[in-house]
């Protein structure tokens, strides 16, 4: 079992996908890079099926909302090669107004529930998902709770106003 390094993984990705792999860095040793939604499934398949990388475990799919950025939502994939002893984080920025991305269920069956949870909390629609519906919140909930669209506190709370406490 030969270990693979972050630099070897990036070299393989660069050879295969070229400029579709961007913003490569290694915070705390975790290989992190960005790609686009038009090639994300190809990237995931490549990392899983390539014997040099052998990313055999999809650890997580989630999202992060960045309301101040041009593309407001980042869909984040965490992969782990238990054979090669390496992890990777992949980010795909998508439009907050039309949050769609292809489903990874064609690559990993386990992506099913992770994508449902991401849809439930962030509103990301995974195109081609076999059963995309809410998993934890009520079906008739009209918002996606993890989007930073509302103030953190109710501005009408009187227990926070100084004039009521002689301050």
Residue ranges covered by each domain of the chain = 6-143
Q: What are φ and ψ of residue 104, in 5° steps?
A: -100, 10
CA-based nearest residue to 59, from 20, 95, 30, 22: 30
1 has a pLDDT exceeding 90: no
User: In 10 A of CB 80, how many CB atoms?
Assistant: 16
What is the chain's Cα-based Rg? 19
- pLDDT tens per residue across span 50-87: 999 999 999 999 999 998 887 889 999 999 999 899 99
Query: Would you call 81 helix, strand, or coil by DSSP?
Result: strand
pLDDT band for 9, please (50, 70, 90 cuts): very high
* Predicted local distance difference test score (pLDDT) of residue 130: 95
Task: With cut-offs at 50, 70 and 90, classify the pLDDT of residue 147.
Answer: confident
Which of 34-48, 65-79, 136-150 has the least mean pLDDT?
136-150
More confident residue, 156 or 91: 91
C-beta separation of 129 from 100 below 8 A: no
How far apart, in Å, are the Cα atoms of 12 and each of 47, 74, 75, 104?
9, 24, 22, 21
Cβ neighbours around 113 below 10 Å, total: 13
CA distance 167 to 101: 51
3-state secondary structure 50-70: CCCCCCCEEEEEEEEECCCCC
Q: What digits encode the pLDDT tens for the residues 97-135?
A: 899 999 999 999 999 999 999 999 999 999 999 999 999
**pLDDT higher than threshold 70 for residue 28:** yes
Mean pLDDT score, 145-163: 71
Residue 23 has pLDDT above 90, yes or no: yes
Task: Please check whether the domain covering 6-143 is classified as CATH 3.40.50.720.
Answer: no
């Amino acid at each position: 079992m030969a270990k693979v390094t972050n630099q070897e993984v990036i070299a393989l990705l660069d050879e295969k996908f070229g400029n579709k792999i961007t913003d490569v860095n290694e915070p705390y040793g975790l290989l992190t890079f960005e790609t686009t939604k038009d090639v994300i499934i190809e990237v995931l398949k490549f990392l899983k099926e390539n014997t040099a990388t052998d990313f055999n475990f999809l650890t997580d799919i989630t999202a992060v909302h960045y309301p101040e950025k041009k593309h407001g939502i980042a869909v984040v994939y965490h992969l782990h090669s238990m054979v090669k002893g390496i992890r990777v984080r992949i980010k795909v920025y998508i439009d907050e107004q039309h949050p769609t991305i292809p489903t990874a269920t064609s690559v990993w069956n386990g992506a099913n529930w992770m994508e449902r949870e991401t849809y439930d909390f962030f509103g990301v629609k995974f195109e081609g998902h076999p059963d995309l519906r809410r998993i934890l919140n009520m079906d008739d909930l009209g918002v996606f709770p993890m989007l930073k669209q509302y103030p953190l506190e109710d501005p009408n709370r009187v227990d926070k106003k100084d004039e009521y406490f002689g301050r």
